[in-house]
Amino acid sequence: MPSRASVVAAAEESIARGSKSFAAASKLFDRETRERAWLLYAWCRECDDLADGQVLGHDAQVVEDPAARLAQIRELTDRALAGEWTGQPAFDALKIVAEETRMPHRFAHDLVEGFALDARGWMPRSEDDLLRYCYHVAGAVGCMMAVVMGVDPDDDATLDRACDLGLAFQLANIARDIEADDRIGRCYLPVDWLVEMDIPPGQHMKPPFRPRLVVIARWLGEMAEAYGASARIGTSALSFRSAWAVLAAAGIYGDIAREVVRRGAHAWDHRAGTSGWQKAGWIAKAGGQAALRNRLYRPEPRPADLWTRPGR
């Protein structure tokens, strides 16, 4: 049986190598929350890497055995949630964080269903399909992170805002990675959008359609902004340090979506990201926002036109 400290150390290395943005934001949590965030990240990262044949989120490739990989993810996840040690550090990390936080198992299962969609070669037909996918691969993680930060698992209003942050992050990811996804035969742009822009299926990366693709990227950026704005309202329910981390992450990731939109036709020449100075700037700015969160982000009804997660 591994020690908690060894699993936490492996999780810390995973986030340090896999996401500089999330690693930077996680340092703002108190120690207990920070370690639990690392544990949750490690499991999410490992599942994603197994599904996409990649290493720490990089160099995704077409996998020959998607069904077998999905079955492995399901088995190890189920064992971890049942309280078993799996011998796999990332899944042992899930065991620990789920037990320590009373995390609802349904959120972990919802994330795995996102990997199942990819394993089937699924593609969204509508905006609703797109947002449902974003929920499965990121919104559910937002809900789990809220529980890690001490939100009551029955506090649906705050969980909805946490889900919105996950949706915002994933919409930014999709805009940034359109070209990278195309290289491994994936497209998360709704068929309805492609039809509206008169882009033939599978041809969206062709040079003649680049100006139209820029319009779609702008739509994704606008959606990311809307869900990010909704998510910020939920920070009034968090402790100062948790709100600080959430607001920093929202700013850092929001910059990715804004950078994609700003680049226009050159958005996919190289991967959009944020510099160390930009991250530091958001960490400083988010501290002020967190201190004033009860004035800046007063509780208000969630916009009715936003997509609502399953079960609500």
Q: Indicate whether 205 and 272 sit together in one domain.
A: yes
Rounded to 5 degrees, what are φ and ψ at 272? -70, 145
Residue 87: Cβ-neighbour burial (10 angstroms; 0-12, 13-18, 19+): exposed
Q: Indicate whether 63 and 110 sit together in one domain.
A: yes
pLDDT for 5 equals 96
pLDDT for 163 equals 98
Q: Indicate whether 261 and 285 sit together in one domain.
A: yes
pLDDT for 100 equals 97
Tell me if residue 55 falls in helix, strand or coil: strand
Chunk the chain into consecutive blocks of 10 residues (it has 312) and report each block's average pLDDT, rounded to whole numbers.
95 91 89 97 94 63 80 97 97 98 97 94 96 98 97 96 98 96 93 97 94 98 98 97 95 95 95 91 97 95 96 80
pLDDT for 228 equals 97
* Alpha helix (H) residue ranges in 234-275: 240-263
Q: Single out the residue in 121, 141, 173 at which a domain terminates.
A: 121
Q: Indicate whether 104 and 135 sit together in one domain.
A: no
Q: Single out the residue in 72, 100, 121 at which a domain terminates.
A: 121
Q: Single out the residue in 121, 139, 169 at which a domain terminates.
A: 121
| Number of domains comprising the chain | 2
Greatest CA separation for the chain: 57
Q: Indicate whether 71 and 141 sit together in one domain.
A: no
What is the model's pTM? 0.93
**Interatomic CA distance for residues 159 and 132, integer angstroms:** 16
Residue 18: Cβ-neighbour burial (10 angstroms; 0-12, 13-18, 19+): buried
Give the range of the structural domain holding residue 304, as residue numbers without chain letter.
123-312
Q: Indicate whether 91 and 131 sit together in one domain.
A: no
**Interatomic CA distance for residues 249 and 169, integer angstroms:** 9
Q: Indicate whether 114 and 128 sit together in one domain.
A: no
pLDDT for 55 equals 62
Q: Indicate whether 84 and 170 sit together in one domain.
A: no
CATH assignment at residue 63:
1.10.600.10
pLDDT for 269 equals 93
Q: Indicate whether 64 and 169 sit together in one domain.
A: no
Whether the CB-CB separation of 115 and 70 falls below 8 Å is answered with yes
Q: Indicate whether 310 and 273 sit together in one domain.
A: yes
Q: Indicate whether 58 and 187 sit together in one domain.
A: no
Q: Which two tokens stand for residue 4?
A: 């908690």
Q: Indicate whether 96 and 134 sit together in one domain.
A: no
